[in-house]
Copies of this chain bind each other. A is one copy, B any other.
Amino acid sequence: MTTASAAPRGRPTIVDVAARAGVSKSLVSLALRGSAAVAPASRDAILAAAAELGYRPNAAAQALVARSSRTVGVLVLDLHNPVFAEILDGVLAGVRARGYRTMVVTGTDAAQERPELDKLLEFRVEGLVLVSHRLDAAALRAIAAETPVVVATRRDVTGPGIDTVCTDDRAGAELAVRHLVALGHRRIAHLGGGDDPVAADREAGYRDAMAAAGLERRTAVLPGGLDDAAGYAAARAALALRQRPTALFVVNDFAALGALAAVAEAGLDLPGQMSVVGFDGTRLSGLRSIGLTSVAQPLADIGRLAAERLFDRIDGRRTRARHTVLPPSLVDRATTASPRRPTTTVG
């Protein structure tokens, strides 16, 4: 009676569902997507058949015919940096809210970044969010020519298809300096972050704020880096200065933790004899055994906005590049206070 169709190999397809429900594959497609044109009886039969077979639509086939993958690619420079982890969280939430999938790439070394992004482009991701990156301007622009790109936390490379979302690092540094100045500090040293473009902005903000406070001559930038060890080393150098500072403004929280260790090791009272301000405001700085005063970036907002900017382009609402700079805020915790007394050079 019924046609002895070949037993379906592998996973059931729409055709298997159609056969079982006794309708055409077109109607199954319609019914599964909830079309109102399908008669209730057919719809129920189709849904029942699909459930019985454990049918699951094939996203690759859908992507092929729809010419859209409903997928966004995300590159994260370094997951161990809580800054990036928190931004990523925001990005993922924003993308998920739109019903898109995410392909995340991370932990690559600089040389692998480009090939990994190429793999994402082969998947025809509809856009790319780069939570920082190490691409050169040419490579970034080449990618942006193919698909919309949003860069978070960096704004040094721009181009027609490139939006940026980041914190006003300069203003953040000024916030930190003004806070310390208001507490009565005059000798405020900055522990820098090397040749990182973000670190450069923070240093510039520090210099500006020092100058604005009439402390240009007290400006002291110690070469450092973005991690614990670099912060420790830079802080040791700062503590050994002839005119020892009473406060350290450090390029980021990780390095600030290293600086705290150096301060403790030097036997200085914190914050009485030495105040320390970090930058990033990650959860790390808020842990109660740390309590680091820090310039907080609106990390979740950065991630959410990055996703939003991308969908502006995906939906065709905008083609011009847009650059968003968000204001940071100072979170006052336990590592800052007024200097105990006019500093005298110790040792």
Q: Is the CB of B59 within 8 A of A123?
A: yes
Given contacts A101-B123, A124-B60, contact A232 B85 (CB under 8 A): no
List, in ascending order, chain B residues with CB within 8 A of A229's CB: 288
Stretch at the interface among A21-29, A88-96, A319-327: A88-96
A242 interface residue (CB < 8 Å to B): no
Is A103 a contact partner of B105 (Cβ separation < 8 A)?
no
Stretch with Cβ within 8 A of B (4 or more), from A199-207, A209-217, A255-263: A255-263
Q: How many angstroms between the C-alpha atoms of A92 and B75 in the bound complex?
A: 12
Q: Of the candidates B101, B112, B122, B264, which one forms a contact with A58 in the assembled complex, judged by CB atoms under 8 Å apart?
A: B122
* Residue ID in chain B nearest A63 by CB atoms: B60
**Given A101-B119, A257-B289, A289-B260, are A60 and B56 also a contact pair (CB < 8 Å)?**
no
Contact B107 A92 (CB under 8 A): yes
Which residues of chain B are within 8 angstroms of A92 by Cβ–Cβ distance? Answer: 105-107
Of chain B, the residue at the smallest CB distance from A70 is B119
Assess whether B101 is in contact with A101, with CB atoms less than 8 Å apart.
Answer: no
Could you say which of A96, A229, A283 has the most chain B C-beta atoms within 10 Å of its C-beta? Answer: A96
Bound CA span A298–B264, Å: 30
CA distance A103 to B69 in the complex (A): 13
**In the complex, A289→B255 CA distance in Å?**
10
B residues near A264, Cβ cutoff 8 Å: 289
A183 close to chain B: CB less than 8 A: no
Which residues of B have CB within 8 Å of A63?
Answer: 60
CB of A60 within 8 A of CB of B102, answer no
Kindly state the separation between the CA atoms of A85 and B283 in the bound complex, as whole angstroms.
15
> A interface, how many residues as a size bin?
35 or more
A110 interfacial by beta-carbon distance below 8 Å: no
Give chain B residues whose Cβ lies under 8 Å from the Cβ of A102: 103-105
Assess whether B89 is in contact with A85, with CB atoms less than 8 Å apart: no
**CB of A33 within 8 Å of the partner chain:** no
Task: Known contacts A228-B288, A258-B288; decide if A86 and B82 are in contact (CB<8 Å).
Answer: no
Q: How far is the CB of A158 from chain B (nearest CB, A)?
A: 22
Q: Counting CB contacts under 8 A, is A266 at the interface?
A: no
The interface residues of chain B lying within 8 Å CB-to-CB of A106 are 88-89, 92
Q: For residues 51 through 110 of chain A, which have their beta carbon under 8 Å from a beta carbon of chain B? A: 54, 56-61, 63-64, 67, 69, 79-80, 82, 85-86, 88-89, 92-93, 96, 101-108
| Least CB distance, A21 to chain B, in whole angstroms | 20
**Contact string, A240-255, partner B, CB cutoff 8 A, digits 1/0?**
0000000000000010
Q: Does A316 contact B (CB under 8 A)?
A: no
CA gap between A290 and B254 in the complex, in Å:
12
Top 10 A-B pairs ranked by shortest CB distance?
A104-B104, A261-B289, A261-B288, A60-B63, A260-B289, A59-B122, A59-B123, A60-B60, A79-B85, A60-B64
Report 26 cross-chain contacts, Cβ distance below 8 Å, ordered by A residue: A11-B124, A56-B118, A56-B146, A60-B60, A60-B123, A60-B124, A61-B64, A79-B79, A79-B85, A85-B85, A88-B107, A89-B106, A89-B107, A92-B106, A92-B107, A101-B103, A102-B103, A103-B104, A104-B104, A228-B287, A254-B287, A257-B289, A258-B288, A258-B289, A260-B289, A261-B287
